[in-house]
Amino acid sequence: MNQRLVECVPNFSEGKDRSIIDSIVQPIIDNAAVSLLDIDMGGDFNRTVVTMVGEPEAVLETVIACTTVALELIDMRSHSGEHARMGAVDVVPFIPISGVTMSECVDLSRRYGISVSEEHSLPVFLYANSAATEQRLRLPEIRKGEYEGLAEKIITDEWKPDYGPAQFMPTMGATATGARSLLIAYNVNLNTDDKKKANSIASKLRTSGSVVKDDDGAIIRDDNGKALRNPGLFKHLQAAGWMYDDDTAQVSMNLLEYSVTGLHHVTDAICEEAAKIGLEAVAGELVGLVPLEAMLDAGRHYYGNLEADHETLVQQAIDGLMLDKLDDFNPNSNIIEWVIQER
């Protein structure tokens, strides 16, 4: 793969009205230098994750156009959903795929932020490798308080946007953009409708762990007033309990470095933790696309044969991760390298 390729995965706060999403992704369809790889709409989350890949300048031009459409059609004043969010165009990450460096993706994110903030008076925060301060490295920190808390947060010196006005924009909210490594969004469903149980399992796995409390349920703090935390089992993992539907809770995760913490690692751990409280993991769900190597790693784990061909290992991964329990899982439509090859 010699072509210079960047992936961009904008998340839009609309997951119910297909006509709105169709309008938002039209600039991708219209640009021959960019491929639309995936559209993942979530009704309960009321959120859509769009995956595009292409030449760096073409991707930048296209996601700016998509942003313009989204800001015209999405009104955050009437938005509600399970997923944490703070804006109509909630997050716009740029990911190096082939022949492109991380620093180039940092530059793309900054140029994106400058463009949309100037054109639309949109407040923009830089995160991940583009962050100007350590406080803004992690997206959950920027999103804390969500859209509902943004009016008070954005006027503080601590949370002045990197670009755009330090002012609450009711229809748009705010956007985060940055450069990051390829992230895998992966969820595991449980046979319960109790979100608290899913969140309890998530707190044992995620890197940030859980807050330490005393016997009365009060948070225990150190001498500086900072809450003490029990560390989680895995590095480079974000996780929380969410609802897949009214009857099904899930552990919702972002795997930030899949070569360190893989799909099979978290799946097996969730199965073990669920069994301790009398539950079962019943299905796995990928949101967006997954790199081939992540599937091969899982396939080797479940199959035990390191030398098997790719097709066999991918099928073993699908079985072990339960990716075909909710719906048919087509690897040609879900594995990044195979999708690019087909397109």
User: What integer pLDDT is reported at residue 104 of this predicted model?
Assistant: 98
pLDDT tens across 242-256, in order?
999 999 999 999 999
- Is pLDDT at 303 greater than 60 in this prediction? yes
- Is pLDDT at 135 greater than 70 in this prediction? yes
Q: Are 90 and 47 in contact (CB under 8 A)?
A: yes
Residue 158: how many other CB atoms lie within 10 Å: 7
Read off φ and ψ for residue 263, nearest 5 degrees. -60, -40
- Is pLDDT at 1 greater than 60 in this prediction? no
Average pLDDT over residues 180-195: 95
**Residues found in the chain:** 343
Q: Which class would CATH give 184-342?
A: alpha beta
Per domain, the residue ranges of the chain are: 5-179, 184-342
Between 220 and 13, the more confident residue is 13
CA 86 to chain centre: 14
pLDDT band for position 217 (cuts 50, 70, 90): confident
Find the DSSP H helices in the chain. Answer: 18-30, 56-73, 102-120, 139-143, 146-153, 195-205, 263-276, 292-303, 310-320, 331-334, 336-342
pLDDT band for position 2 (cuts 50, 70, 90): low
Contacts of 244 (CB under 8 A, 6+ apart): 44, 187, 189, 250, 285
Any idea which fold 5-179 has? Formiminotransferase-cyclodeaminase; Chain B, domain 1 (3.30.990)
Angstrom distance (rounded) from CA 36 to CA 24: 12
Cα distance from N-terminal residue to C-terminal residue, the chain: 13
User: What integer pLDDT is reported at residue 141 of this predicted model?
Assistant: 94
Average pLDDT over residues 124-128: 97
**Angle (deg, nearest 10), helices 195-205 and 263-276:** 130
- Is pLDDT at 46 greater than 80 in this prediction? yes
Q: Which of 100, 104, 156, 164 has its CA nearest to residue 130?
A: 104
105: helix, strand or coil: helix
Lowest-pLDDT range, 131-145, 210-224, 268-282? 210-224
Q: Which of 90, 94, 77, 7 has its CA nearest to residue 42?
A: 90
- Run of H or E including 91: strand 89-98
- Is pLDDT at 342 greater than 80 in this prediction? no
Average pLDDT over residues 18-45: 93
Angstrom distance (rounded) from CA 294 to CA 8: 19
User: What integer pLDDT is reported at residue 97 of this predicted model?
Assistant: 87
pLDDT tens across 53-81, in order?
999 999 999 999 999 999 999 999 999 88
- Return the structure tokens found at 138: 């992690």
Strand order in the sheet with 248-255: 237-245, 248-255, 184-190, 281-287
Q: Pseudo-torsion of CA 126, 150, 20, 78, nearest 10°?
A: 170
For 82, 89, 118, 159, 177, the CA distances from 123, given in Å and listed in that order, are 23, 11, 9, 11, 11
Q: Are 154 and 123 in contact (CB under 8 A)?
A: yes
Between 269 and 287, the more confident residue is 269
Average pLDDT over residues 161-184: 96
pTM of the entire predicted model: 0.73
- Is pLDDT at 216 greater than 80 in this prediction? no
**Over pLDDT 90: what percentage of the chain?**
81
Between 180 and 82, the more confident residue is 180
pLDDT band for position 214 (cuts 50, 70, 90): confident
**Angle (deg, nearest 10), helices 263-276 and 292-303:** 50
Residue type, 320: G
Read off φ and ψ for residue 172, nearest 5 degrees. -100, -30
Give catalytic residues, as residue numbers.
83
